[in-house]
Structure 1
Amino acid sequence: MASPSQIISITLLLLLLLGAFAKARDPFACDPKDATTSNFPFCKVSMPISNRVKDLLGRLKLQEKVRLLMNNAAAVPRLGIKGYEWWSEALHGVSNVGPGTKFGGAFPGATSFPQVITTAASFNATLWEAIGRVKVRQPMPQVVSDEARAMYNGGAAGLTYWSPNVNIFRDPRWGRGQETPGEDPVVIGTYAASYVKGLQGNNGDRLKVAACCKHFTAYDLDNWNGVDRFHFNAKVSKQDMEDTFDVPFKMCVQDGNVASVMCSYNQVNGVPTCADPNLLKKTVRGQWNLNGYIVSDCDSVGVFYNTQHYTSTPEEAAADAIKAGLDLDCGPFLAQYTENAVTKGLLNEVDVNSALVNTLTVQMRLGMFDGEPSEQSFGNLGPKDVCAPAHQQLALEAARQGIVLLKNRGPSLPLSHLRHRTVAVIGPNSNATVTMIGNYAGVACGYTSPLQGVGNYAKTIHQMGCADVACVDDKLFSGAIDAARQADATVLVMGLDQSMEAEFKDRTELLLPGRQQELISKVAMASKGPTILVLMSGGPIDVSFANNDPRIGSILWAGYPGQAGGAAIADVLYGTTKPEGKLPMTWYPQGYVSNILMTDMAMRSSPNRNYPGRTYRFYKGPVVYPFGHGLSYTNFVHTIASAPTVVSVPLDGHHHSGNATVSGKSIKVNHAKCNKLSVGLQVDVKNTGSEDGTHTMLVFWMPPAGHWAPHKQLVAFAKVHVKAGSQQRVGINIHVCKFLSVVDRSGVRRIPIGIHDLHIDGVKHSLSLQAATLGVIKT
């Protein structure tokens, strides 16, 4: 009989053999073995892509063109082009959501990173790109895109990934808030650009995979109080559109050079986003210069015809969408009705050609018309590159960096190997696996649950306490209470899962479900040692009771921490890893959602109608934990070593201060010379504690008072590792026009003249912005 080690060795060998002999995908087009097609000009790699696309379009018939307008694009056999499924997802790892990706055979799983909201809590732009980019075998290959390319080469995935989600987490009840980087537009935009660069690679105009920023725009309601996303008309002011909802998408397109933008289901101010030329053609492609294609959310065109009744006929809907700037339909609608729209004169074939130019160009940038893939086009990637050890280690590191220490009374953490040898691990998420990867996930390489993670440090006593997160009864309470009485420390792993918050499932309240609060309080009362509460969730939870309970020593928020989440939680509990995450969203009390409609899109508060405003930028009421909150096991002190006190904003020469300002109080951004106009700070960060630690430094800006401005705005953030007792200097550059500007009620961005304050924890620095015809920065 074989020993366990022999069985493992045999299994690994079989997996390696399976990977070595995985069937490679035949070329999508321009197969060099096909003599009838390989000499077409559109197959010649040496020609400019624009010429190749023009040649291919000239060979296509209208009937063939319209069948290329859908996600399940039809083959064109006479030209040697195979069918292609555009819909794949890679929100936080290659996902099996969407028909473009299939797990099994040589690809049983893929690395599942923490859900986006957890990764965002790291405030680490380098990590955000590293999830797509880490040094493994080639100069700067990308982790998720390595795995995506490997699966594409093996015939198991596509090359066009409809990720990331960069919508604002505007309302804490939104079930898809977990997919986003939080509530701050600058953080989201920075995440978007970083993640997109990691996915798409650094190969010039060539793409490793094509990313997509979604869902454009003002989309942040799925199904609340009888209102669903298919019927919702988001009424948004020009001011909120410019300074909140559009910011991440603009940064994604301009800073990330994303290959695609997805329009959303909802209407904005009465017009479906996928039929709005002002949003698609004028803004995304015109003003922001998208170098790529625009795709609908799935069945969005059918939704605005069948559900929203925006047009009288399906042909009008198809024509409106394409003329608005839509290039690809996730769904069959355009393939079914576009040809008739052309026949009826509602649409010109040249409009169809314009859409196909954008999609075909992206496919050619991906190398799909280059014949056999070479090593330079990632043809060497295969099963060995999926779930690679370095990828899984990065998933663990991402989870560690995203965990947020919300409370640490005493302090209760970190736990001690010597004093806390037996730990009661309790709660419906205590042995969670699939819950840890959230939604839009695939099949993970493997899981380490919280119970397993703590078990690597101590002897565990495990009790669920509740059958699931709904926690409808107290049948399992007694076992949990007994476990807490026996153990040296108690870890309660509570919170939510996809049954409580998900796509098409918004929450109605912010409290823990069912009788979870009762279980936590009773266990804490019985616990012999320190009681630690660990929360899994995408959205915020009102845990005021636990924050105020002296018997609950510490509270950790882990979000949905990915496949290695349990190991990361245990590492933080025992201090192997020091907590460094910060909350990327405000945690409100339950009373907040009792008084505010989810359908009200206004960001700013309105005392006249008792409206409190949204997100830390505009809300001033009570909170459970504020945006940016997160404790450490050590203490950091900031000192501003150097910073300007006066900044002169140069005008562009066509405007003088008289017509560039309003009452001398602001300068229109488009009247200023913005290029390279930035404020540079040098900040010393000293670790005054006894533990080495990594500090997450947040820089907030408070503009001169005025009804246009937010109360405060995050304008920069940085990570710095500082040893105990030592000091590190951090350089920060803040672009004046982008980050020290406000938006007026007409949607015009302006730079306020006057005193601006920068805050880093308790340290404040004031600088004066002044209009000048010749711009210099004075110190």
Structure 2
Amino acid sequence: MYHGLLLLLFIILDPYLNSQYAIQFVTGAQGDSKYLKVVTTCKHFAGYDLEDYVDGETRHSFNAKITPQDFEETYYPAFKACVEEANVASIMCSYNEVNGVPSCADGQINNKLARDTWGFDGFIASDCGAIDDIQNKHHYTNNTDDTVAAALKGGCDLNCGSYYQSHAQSAFLNGTITIGEINLALTRLFTARMKLGMFDPPELQPYNAISPDVVNSLEHQALALNAARESIVLLQNNNDVLPLNFEKHSTIAVVGPHAMATDVMQGNYNGVAPYLISPVEGFENLGIDSVLTASGCDVNCEVTDGFQDAFDIAVKADAVIAVLGLDQSHESEGHDREDLFLPNLQDKFVQDLKNTLKAAGTNAPLIVVVMSGSSVDLTVTKKHADAILWAGYPGQSGGQAIAEIIYGKVNPSGRLPVTFYPGSYIDLVAFRHMSMREYPGRTYKFYNDTPDFSFGDGLSYTTFYLEWSKPVNMSGVRSVSYPTVVYNVTVTNTGKMPGAISVLAYISYNNSGAPKKKLFGFEKVFLNPLQSVSVTFPADSKAFSTVDKSGKRSVNPGDYHVTIGDQLIHKISLI
């Protein structure tokens, strides 16, 4: 039944941005015909937050204790958007329990919330082996008949694995499930097949005309490259050391454990790439006169034996690029990180590398490129690097995109989708706790200390100026029953280089328990020097709403501040 199934993983730590990501992903993948191009699956529903923790706690037995407030405010919105705005065809229930009930047996969230409240009309599939977990990991049931019944009645139509296949017949014969419940699940599953056109003449399904030639087409290769270019984030650029100059920086040293990275750039859940351009290859292909390379250490960086090889070439270079970070041995499905630091001696490698350059009397700038799929402590790196870029896992053309940005062929425009905390954060936050507000707070919305870098950070090689396109009622008094305000903003590239900017719109409400601020809109625009464009941000009742402890969302009277970019602020009072 997984014919045409596409899995969707949420990777962004903001519920609004998560929701927009989900809507675009699902609608783009499922297509705009009366037929589905594929069945997309929003996962993992719900509260999936732990893989395999240090003391043996795993996703198969974890009980996610989540308040109604956190559910409504943080954990539900992206799934709700999947259903209500993207009309997703499938949801995957997760391994974990939610407040004592295994997700795949939780009729409250699967049936009453997703189906009855949101209007979900697709099928729900379990994660692989999750039905077995109901009995043997969560001990929620005592036998196979009751386990099948708990899952089927709880809304799980399809078991990834063999549990239903092995035990559903017995459960039916023993009367724990009914023919009506079986038929309901089958109806949902076969409806999805019908929407895929599997029972119609092939020529009627327009997506059957898509040939394998589109895979690795030139258009898709260009898309992969552009995705890498636009997602790389410039986090630090002291004294505008970047972009490098082809003549001034004609000899470079590319060092660090990911200097020759290829497979790691794909993350996981990836297909077979037609090619993989490493950072070193990216610089070589860009036409740099001399590209010297030595790794210094592998990604685990447990010994310093290779450091000197990297230092020896660094002192010969006009610029040094250190490519560091994590890989799938540190973060992947079934494996949780134990801390936020770069692995082992990577921080020491950066520090010693900078000290070596200073001791040699060279003016070569040190540029650090970080590959990771999650937050890393960059406290040490910030002290020693002249510039820092976060590349995530940039895919098959990652090395080309990194080189183009460092040499200014491409102007960086990415923004951080997560907050980078200091390493001490892990000692203050209980890993198993799901609360967003528990000190010191989770995500930019609730974190009460100073991060290394925050959600939304990202620099450019050019400058932008924002101003109101239309006059704003600065008195800003409106009714809580109709608070909607439309903000029109003119964005101008005031620098000398073409570039893109993601204009982020936040709203804050000075009330106890409310988020420090929350994203309610964003728009990315590309502008040539001195070019201007107008962008619009409607702030509706949902943007002004807050969620109380009972999980009720409402618009309350009081003073609100709307911030557009980092330049425009509007105060509005609701009465």
TM range (shorter): over 0.9
1:685 partner SS: strand
- The answer to whether 1:359 aligns with 2:189 is yes
* One-letter identity of the residue aligned with 2:122: G
Q: 1:633 aligns with which of 445, 449, 461?
A: 461
Matches within 5 A, 1:503-542: 503-527=333-357, 528=362, 529-542=364-377
Give deviations 1:255-310, integer Å, cap 9, x for gaps: 11110111100001100011011010101111111121111111111011111111
Distance in 2 separating the partners of 1:312 and 1:391: 50
**What residue is the counterpart of 2:522 in the other structure?**
717
* One-letter identity of the residue aligned with 1:681: Y
Shift of 1:465: 0.7
- The answer to whether 1:620 aligns with 2:442 is no
Q: 2:427 aligns with which of 580, 594, 607?
A: 594
Distance in 2 separating the partners of 1:233 and 1:465: 42
Shift of 1:598: 0.6
- The answer to whether 1:399 aligns with 2:228 is yes
Deviates more, 1:267-276 or 1:453-462: 453-462
- The answer to whether 1:477 aligns with 2:307 is yes
Shift of 1:765: 0.6
Matches within 5 A, 1:104-115: none
Matches within 5 A, 1:41-80: none
Shift of 1:646: 3.5
Shift of 1:375: 6.9
**What residue is the counterpart of 2:559 in the other structure?**
755
Deviates more, 1:337-346 or 1:534-543: 337-346
**What residue is the counterpart of 1:17 in the other structure?**
none
Shift of 1:689: 1.8
* One-letter identity of the residue aligned with 1:165: L
Matches within 5 A, 1:569-580: 569-580=402-413
Matches within 5 A, 1:262-301: 262-301=92-131
Distance in 2 separating the partners of 1:447 and 1:734: 42
Distance in 2 separating the partners of 1:593 and 1:297: 28
Larger Rg: 1
Report how many residues are paired.
563
- The answer to whether 1:216 aligns with 2:45 is yes
Q: 1:443 aligns with which of 272, 291, 294?
A: 272
* TM, length-normalised to structure 2: 0.96
- The answer to whether 1:465 aligns with 2:296 is yes
* CA contact 2:419–2:453 (8 Å) conserved in 1: yes
* CA contact 1:433–1:449 (8 Å) conserved in 2: yes
Distance in 1 separating the partners of 2:407 and 2:538: 36
CA RMSD of aligned residues (A): 1.4
Matches within 5 A, 1:326-405: 326-371=156-201, 373-374=202-203, 376-405=205-234
1:717 partner SS: strand
Distance in 2 separating the partners of 1:367 and 1:769: 51
* CA contact 1:433–1:447 (8 Å) conserved in 2: yes
Distance in 1 separating the partners of 2:128 and 2:372: 26
Deviates more, 1:540-549 or 1:404-413: 540-549
Distance in 1 separating the partners of 2:137 and 2:442: 29
1:443 partner SS: coil
Shift of 1:649: 4.4
* One-letter identity of the residue aligned with 1:600: H
* CA contact 1:579–1:631 (8 Å) conserved in 2: yes
Distance in 2 separating the partners of 1:713 and 1:732: 14
Give deviations 1:204-242, integer Å, cap 9, x for gaps: 4x2011100000011111011221111110111111111
* One-letter identity of the residue aligned with 1:164: L
* CA contact 1:274–1:301 (8 Å) conserved in 2: yes
2:521 partner SS: strand
**What residue is the counterpart of 1:230 in the other structure?**
60
* CA contact 1:704–1:752 (8 Å) conserved in 2: no
Shift of 1:494: 0.6
1:539 partner SS: coil
Moved >6 Å (runs of 4+): none
Distance in 1 separating the partners of 2:490 and 2:214: 41
Distance in 1 separating the partners of 2:510 and 2:152: 44
**What residue is the counterpart of 1:316 in the other structure?**
146
* One-letter identity of the residue aligned with 1:722: L
Distance in 2 separating the partners of 1:382 and 1:555: 41
**What residue is the counterpart of 1:647 in the other structure?**
478
Give the unaligned 5+ runs of structure 1: 1-84, 87-157, 167-179, 606-610, 651-672, 771-779
- The answer to whether 1:554 aligns with 2:359 is no
Shift of 1:376: 4.6
- The answer to whether 1:165 aligns with 2:12 is no
Give deviations 1:23-50, integer Å, cap 9, x for gaps: xxxxxxxxxxxxxxxxxxxxxxxxxxxx
**What residue is the counterpart of 1:422 in the other structure?**
251
Distance in 2 separating the partners of 1:360 and 1:719: 40
Deviates more, 1:593-602 or 1:516-525: 516-525
- The answer to whether 1:412 aligns with 2:257 is no
1:319 partner SS: helix
**What residue is the counterpart of 2:134 in the other structure?**
304
* CA contact 1:264–1:300 (8 Å) conserved in 2: yes
Distance in 1 separating the partners of 2:567 and 2:423: 29
Shift of 1:648: 3.1
Shift of 1:392: 0.8
Give deviations 1:691-723, integer Å, cap 9, x for gaps: 22111111110024132x111101101111222
Distance in 1 separating the partners of 2:205 and 2:36: 12
* One-letter identity of the residue aligned with 1:565: G
Distance in 1 separating the partners of 2:120 and 2:557: 33
Distance in 1 separating the partners of 2:467 and 2:493: 12
**What residue is the counterpart of 1:258 in the other structure?**
88
1:699 partner SS: strand
Distance in 2 separating the partners of 1:699 and 1:622: 21
1:230 partner SS: coil
* CA contact 2:197–2:205 (8 Å) conserved in 1: no
* CA contact 1:703–1:752 (8 Å) conserved in 2: no
* CA contact 1:367–1:377 (8 Å) conserved in 2: no
* TM, length-normalised to structure 1: 0.71
Distance in 2 separating the partners of 1:704 and 1:464: 49
Give the unaligned 5+ runs of structure 2: none
Distance in 1 separating the partners of 2:61 and 2:19: 27
Matches within 5 A, 1:617-696: 617-642=445-470, 643-644=472-473, 645-650=476-481, 678-696=484-502
Distance in 1 separating the partners of 2:414 and 2:208: 37
Matches within 5 A, 1:119-158: 158=3
Give deviations 1:293-351, integer Å, cap 9, x for gaps: 11111111101111111101111010111111111111111111111111111111100
Shift of 1:386: 1.0
* One-letter identity of the residue aligned with 2:558: G
Distance in 2 separating the partners of 1:314 and 1:721: 58
**What residue is the counterpart of 1:15 in the other structure?**
none
1:224 partner SS: coil
